[in-house]
Structure 1
Amino acid sequence: MSPACEHSSEIREAHIPPNQMNRWLVFLAILGLSCATTGPDVEGEALLDFLKVLNDSNHQITDWNSFLVSPCFSWSHVTCRDGHVISLSLGSKGFSGTLSPSITNLKYLITLELQNNSLSGFLPDYIANLTRLQYLNLADNNFNGSMPSTWGQLSSLRTLDLSSNKLSGTIPKHLFSVPIFNYSDTELHCDSSLEQPCVSNSAIPASTNKSKLAVALGWASCGAFGILCLGTILTYAYQYIQRHKNDVFVDVSGEDESKVSFGQLRRFSLRELHLATNNFNEGNVIGQGGFGKVYKGALSDNTKIAVKRLADYHNPGGEAAFQREVQLISVAVHRNLLRLIGFCTTSTERILVYPFMENRSVAYRLRDLKPEEQSLDWPTRKRIAFGTAHGLEYLHEQCNPKIIHRDLKAANILLDDEFEAVLGDFGLAKLVDTRLTSVTTQVRGTMGHIAPEYLSTGKSSEKTDVFGYGITLLEIVTGQRAIDFSRLEEEEDVLLLDHIKKLLKEKRIKDIVDKNLESYDAKDVERIIQVALLCTQAAPEDRPSMSEVVNLLIGEGLAERWAEWELMDEMDNREMSLLDHQFAWADESTHDQEAIQLSWAR
């Protein structure tokens, strides 16, 4: 065991005051990842080298850094499972380099998406070493040369898109057995027969004029016969519907056009969602995370939707459980909760369908605005804080079973047309039996937002959401991220929570408030910060419930609770100071003992 890992065990045995516990837990989480001999640190270094060779001259990726080697901690466009990188989504980033051999260190990689960049060079044969690879998309780049014969060893591959590249030569025969492939708009040799086309039946060809013309001519040749059949089918369908108009249809296979399921929730066919999202086109991706990707789409009646395609739901046995959870979540109806329109399930897909929010998320409005877009003003931010609190109060105290969100952050708060807060991404939240006070699960959430007891024990409760809400309040006020390693350069705290505590003690309210806010009410800001700090106390029993939070936001009972917090914080700081002194004394004693031992040896 390395010295760093040995020291971490000594820290766990020490007494740490409650208000300092969160920073210690985050530190230990980072340290634990860095202590792994074959773990995510190797993958992090591989990704840094991979990004360097990709040539990110437009600086699209800014949060991959050597301060935190583990990519599973907070790196964007990276999805992990069990501490290993399984997906890289780097399409349309303006890269102009090539591929690095370091990618072979990502031995658990399942998905690699680099489409619509300006990458060049030969297709590397070492890609064949990624034995778990299932999805590879290198379309719309400038790769040249032939396809490596070694790629025929990619036995797990399910989707391969190499369209619109400068490739030539022969395609390995094995790659025609991949379920979905696309070699169109290249100079690769494709057999014109049905056995070896350039595009599989499941793939959407590149939109070239030639391919569109071919499709049009093909359909035209069948036109007369199709019209004749259509009339017969429509007549039969109308008679059938009239006889069975009161029946309930269930789309078990996901391949028919059934519209009705249970309650008011609509069940979509997979084909319908393929059409709505242009075959889940990467250009329609509006968000992604550990759950999968979210696509913007439009139904046949032009209704705009957001389609969440869930990852890691390929077990057919989980379909019934998924449907039960969807049924229960569909009952949660509140103006500050994102309404679930419907869902789709097949043997390999779990998809949720929501209304599309034109104003995106709070995180987008705080940090990712385009130059022509306006930042959130103070009254809107206050309304968002109250709306989010009301939505959480409903989930915790008015739903049966109660619902714990477990990933509360600015990125999961959406904004409707009137900039009203709409709490989203609770579709995969934990449904909790009201007889249980907590439930143990695999830790789900975003570092910096995760409550210390959840991080250390895996037990979540309503109070874990309260902690996340407190961090979200700090995001709303400051416009900053929960964890920001750039603050290290200014010798400031990496954790936003610790950073704000320090500024508040120094009465630097102006330095707390988002620089994009032209005007604000200083008393309002101070009150919301106080509520945030009450929500983020280390001990869950010390945090208020969400109904109490709603009252605290308007000032009811805040003075008394804040006075208690200040007293406890002062006591914790004294204990921490004493603890530091004890560590220093222990170090000095160790040095003295070593000196005595050396003198005896002489």
Structure 2
Amino acid sequence: MGGRGAPEATRRLVVAVVGVVVAVAAVLCPTAAGKLGKQAKALVAIKAPLHDPGNVLWDWDLKFGNDPCHWSMVTCQKGQIQELSMTNKNLSGTLSPAVGKLRSLRYLLLSHNAISGRIPDTVGRMTLLEVLDLSNNHFSGSIPSTLGHLAKLQYLKLNNNSLSGPIPESLGTDAPMIFSLDVSFNNLSGHRPTFRTWNVFFEGNPFLSDIGSESIAPPLGPKDGKEGDLQVMSKDIFILLLCIGIGCSLVAVVAGAVLFWRRRQRERVFAVADVSVQHDPEGCLGHLKQYKFKEIRKATNNFSQTNILGEGGYGIVYKGDLDGTTVAVKRLKDRDSVVGDDQFHTEIEVISLAVHRNLLHLTGYCIANNERLLVYPYMPNGTVASKLKECVNGEPTLDWPRRKRIALGASQGLLYLHEQCDPKIIHRDIKASNVLLDEYLEAVVADFGLAKLVDHWMSHVVTSVRGTLGRIPPECFKFCHASEKTDVFCFGLFLMELVTGRVTLELHENEYEKGGILELAKELLEQSKLSMFVDRKLGSNYDSAELEELVQIALLCTMYRPCHRPKMSEIVKMLEGGDGGVAEKWESVKNIEDPNPDWSQEFVSIGINYDDENQRNSIELQAIELSGPR
């Protein structure tokens, strides 16, 4: 009996020890599922006080599981929520303090909604936060001093709200990484703290001191009751009128100077031209990390051919490993030429300051002698162009619902560039090869190499013709004009790529003799024969009504005259299903007569030099060459 008792006691002891170990491990090493579950509960708590008339947060519900990484407007990396992108979603209500539980969050984008109430103090607990954009809402109360605890915060946009009280001193003293701060157009008061950056905007806060001098006219003293001489009175009136005139002139001059200064300040936000001024001893350009050339060379295995992801007119993209993270490195061509330098600075200025979940974010750069290199996050699923050709077990990698989601994501990225950036940004070469896919096959618009910054008061920018042959809008051929409607035209062709799955949009001679891809789409739409137009890899696995609507949107986007094309905000609504009048819109414009010129002749007539290999590359390279997997 004692012999049997000893093993039993041993067994119980082992079970107890294992139980303790498991319990300790559960406390000290929580599982990824447990972490995701906590993040999911936090999102549900954030959703609760928000009013969501568009039901954009429909899947923020625990009945869909504890993994929020597949929920809408949520971006994750390695099982941690990195970004909430809820810009322009018609949300109201209040922001829950539960947002502070998302400790891994780096980007919180809530601009252009109608969210009210106070900004929760708990935002200061998100110590990894880099971008906080709460602009263009109805937030009230004071700016939380806890924001100064965010040591990694680079961009803080609180403009166009109803915030009051002083600006916390901690933002100027305890937030060392702030690169851009906008608190304009609120009801702030008190004095203006000293900041380490000049990208700070205070205008529109009449009770905030140290913004500009205010002139106060001294009151006129009461008359002593004696009737003065008419000449003296006339002289006094003349002097008074003269003083008023001089005063008004001075006010006009000062106002003009202030407006000019404000405009220059706005331009400075997107002008990081003087690298030597912005470069600090720690190797940063503003918020970007500057790498040494030897680091890049080592990361790419000395720019090995086996590491090449893609090649385009301006550069070769390599896969690399920097600081233990997989990245994509673009090594610019013609680094000795002015064009190469302009390309580098354009991408530095534009990409680094445009932050949106559907835009590729520039993270670093390198300048060494004649070398110009840009560092991006690696996109594991490559480009839309490459994925459109793929099939798994006989089924296309990009099914119909996924293609619709990609179209919406790309349109939201372009909407941010056109209507939420100041000055606006024009991409100028939207196509399937320049739209990347992240780990969840979400669209990420890339390659801002041809982007131009345009002030809102300008309708277009006159520029040289750049882009891809066959995709350049008529106005660019005829007048060298580029505007946001240029991107709309190219986006329409991108929709054609998603529908047809074609590598190129050029038709064969025996395929359709009456015109190109747009004419073919229009004819098949009128004849209700779009089944002949859709990608054969999809078979019958698509919605016929959605197909018809998507083709109508594409044709609206590619109207000959820019004024007939919709804005990106209208396109987003159409793709979201919030605008049920797509068919009506198309019916109203489909019969408008278009000049329909011979584009190839137009292209030759404007003097493009086909002997210039760089020009040829920048125009003619196909999708996979311009942007391989990032």
Provide TM-score, normalisation by structure 2: 0.47
Provide TM-score, normalisation by structure 1: 0.49
Query: Larger radius of gyration, structure 1 or 2?
Result: 2
